[in-house]
Each structure stands twice: as C-alpha cells, then as structure tokens.
Amino acid sequence: MWKISKVEIYNDIQEDGKTSRTENKIRESLFKIEILKIKISIGGINLANYRSIIRRRNSKSSKSVAGDTHEVIRVRTPQKDRNEVLATVLNLLGSKRVTLQCMDGVVRMGRIPGSKNKRLWIREGDIVIANPWEIQDSKADVIWKYTRPQIEWLERKGYLN
C-alpha cells in the first residue's frame, strides 16, 4: 500500500479544482478518521463497539457464583379441593377450544376462558391445569399453562409420569 499524507491529497485536490470519485472517497475516509480521533481524544464512545461494551458490562454484573443453579421455587400445583387436574394439550380445535388428555385418564374438550384467552398462548403438547365442569365431566376449563422450567420441576417432583 502507498503511504500518502493528508497534505499531499489536499494539495492535489486543490490544484485541479475538479474532484473525482476516488478523491471524494479519500476525503470522506479522512474526515471519518479525524472524527474518530476526536472522539477517542475526548473520551467519547466508539459506536461500532457500543453494543458489545454494554453486553460485556451486563455479563460481568450478572455472573453467578460457581455451583449456583437457577431453581424454580414457586410452581402452581393442581388443588384437589378445587377439582383441578393436570392435562396435556392433544390438539387445537379453534375458537378457544382444545382437546385435553387429563392425568385422571379422561379425554376432555377444554375451553380457554375469555379472561385468559390473550394471556395463554397454548400449543399442542403444552402442560396445563384443567378444571373439569361439574355438569359435564367431558368438558373442562383451562386455567393455567406451565412454562418449560416449571414442567421440569413437576417431573422431578413426580407430578408428571
């Protein structure tokens, strides 16, 4: 590569009066270099590495102690006095309805109540708490959906077979 000083480039550009594309690119790159030098000398932030700097700061502050694992402490379990059972979603029927395979061995048609419709995004294979109807035992309301760590906790504690 050629080593050309800024003074030589400026002198060449000023003599011609006309500038070509390469001269414009050189002028722009020199201008960017000068701005970076000013930012560095002032102590400004280099925006190219800004996100990585933030990530490094956050990772240092949130490091856990060796051997410390994140344990799910509170998990909602089905309450027998409220007639709640664990169920697996077999398929989605549409119109806020799902087919449930309950842990008591009954296949029920589950209904997602309107109050929980937008909050519970249910997919096939999800583990939920169902509340069977007193009038029709073949139907139930879905009242709770478990997350992946909660499901792992339920498996460790023996709630799921």
CATH number assigned to the domain comprising residue 130? 2.40.50.140
Residue 1: pLDDT band (50, 70, 90) is very low
Could you give the maximum distance between any two Cα atoms of the chain, in Å? 96
Hunting for tokens 């930012």 — which residue is that?
39
**What domain range is 127 assigned to?**
80-157
Token representation of residue 146: 């478990």
- What angle do helix axes 21-42 and 6-16 make, rounded to 10 degrees? 140
Token representation of residue 24: 């414009």
Q: Does residue 123 belong to any structural domain of this protein?
A: yes
* 30 and 99 part of one domain: no
Total domain count for the chain?
2
Residue 43: pLDDT band (50, 70, 90) is low
Stated pTM of the model: 0.54
Residue 161: pLDDT band (50, 70, 90) is confident
- Mark out the alpha helices in the chain (DSSP H runs): 6-16, 21-42, 50-61, 148-157
Pairing of strands 107-111, 139-145: parallel
* 49 and 85 part of one domain: no
22 strand-pairing partners? none
Overall average pLDDT of the 37-50 stretch: 58
* 131 and 90 part of one domain: yes
- Comparing C-alpha atoms, which of 161, 153, 4, 46 is closest to residue 12? 4
